[in-house]
């Protein structure tokens, strides 16, 4: 992966001017082209080497084997130049398609409006509400609710909710009150149990301290 100077090959070549071996960093392309840059003190980092190769037109890829020379970057194949492509045929002018206003209208505009309740539907819902809704308590009797009533009458829930909100009270039921009372009782019991648990834990801690104090006292007198 890219990220270290080891991405490039390091070689030593003889230099006539210096009369000795000289270090270079080399980048290679799959088309067999290569480029080397001098690394005189062997301290050139990856970023500096990468800038040097990129500045020379090379593409430094994620994998060393995918590095590309300027010629390949410009569009040639790694192994051989790409054959010249034939000129593209001239584009045919587009002929506008005539449509009628009805065809051009969006489908959303033709969507049917939501179905509304008929007077018969409203009467059916009102009759059911009169039987299962407790006006004085402002709640459904038993475990009834808007959804349950709508399913029994085979009508949308929104229709039931509309009639209930217009002439009755909120969407709650008698069972909700019972469940709420049960919940309060459970919470209270849990608080009592927690308090007793804390009290027992404190008692156990005190007993443990007393036991340790007596054990230390007996050990001091050589009693085990």
What is the distance between the alpha carbons of residues 78 and 29, in angstroms, rounded to a whole number? 7
* Structural domain boundaries in the chain: 5-73, 119-172, 177-224
Asked whether the beta carbons of 178 and 186 are under 8 A apart, the reply is no
Asked whether the beta carbons of 155 and 125 are under 8 A apart, the reply is yes
Q: How many CA atoms lie within 13 A of 4 on its CB side?
A: 4
170: tokens are 């909120």
Q: How many residues does the chain have?
A: 224
Helices (H) and strands (E) in the chain, counts: 7, 5
Answer with the residue of higher pLDDT: 219 or 102. Answer: 219
50-54, 71-75, 83-87, 128-132 — which is least confidently predicted?
A: 83-87
* Number of CB atoms found within 10 A of residue 9's CB: 13
What is the distance between the alpha carbons of residues 208 and 186, in angstroms, rounded to a whole number? 33
pTM, 2 dp? 0.35
The tens digit of pLDDT for each residue in 62-74 reads: 888 889 999 998 8
Band (pLDDT 50/70/90 cuts) for residue 80 is very low
| pLDDT higher than 70, residue 153 | yes
Please choose, from the candidates 76, 37, 30, 38, the residue with its C-alpha nearest in 3D space to the C-alpha of residue 54. 37
Q: What is the mean pLDDT of the chain?
A: 81
The tens digit of pLDDT for each residue in 169-200 reads: 999 988 776 677 677 778 877 887 878 888 88
| pLDDT higher than 70, residue 140 | yes
* Number of CB atoms found within 10 A of residue 125's CB: 21
For residue 110, with 0-12 CB atoms within 10 Å meaning exposed, 13-18 middle and 19 or more buried, which class applies? exposed
SS3 at position 16: coil
Quote the DSSP letter at residue 89. Answer: P
97-101, 136-140, 157-161 — which is least confidently predicted?
A: 97-101
| pLDDT higher than 70, residue 87 | no
* Number of CB atoms found within 10 A of residue 163's CB: 23
Band (pLDDT 50/70/90 cuts) for residue 124 is very high
């Amino acid at each position: 992966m890219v990220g270290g100077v080891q991405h490039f090959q390091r070689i030593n070549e003889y230099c006539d001017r210096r009369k000795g071996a000289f270090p270079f960093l080399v980048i290679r392309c799959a088309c067999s082209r290569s480029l080397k840059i001098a690394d005189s003190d062997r301290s050139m980092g990856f970023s500096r080497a990468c800038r040097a190769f990129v500045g020379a037109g090379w593409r430094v890829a994620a994998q060393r084997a995918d590095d590309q020379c300027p010629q390949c970057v410009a569009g040639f194949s790694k192994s051989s130049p790409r054959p010249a492509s034939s000129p593209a045929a001239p584009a045919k002018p587009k002929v506008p398609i005539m449509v009628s206003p009805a065809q051009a209208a969006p489908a959303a505009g033709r969507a049917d409006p939501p179905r509304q309740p008929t007077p018969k539907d409203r009467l059916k819902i009102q009759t059911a509400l009169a039987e299962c809704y407790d006006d004085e308590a402002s709640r459904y009797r038993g475990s009834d609710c808007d959804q349950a009533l709508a399913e029994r009458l085979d009508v949308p829930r929104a229709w039931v909710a509309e009639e209930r909100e217009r002439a009755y009270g909120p969407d709650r039921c008698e069972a909700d009150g019972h469940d709420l009372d049960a919940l309060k009782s459970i919470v209270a019991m849990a608080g009592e149990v927690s308090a007793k648990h804390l009290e027992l834990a404190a008692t156990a801690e005190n007993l443990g301290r007393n036991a340790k104090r007596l054990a230390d006292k007996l050990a001091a007198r050589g009693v085990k």
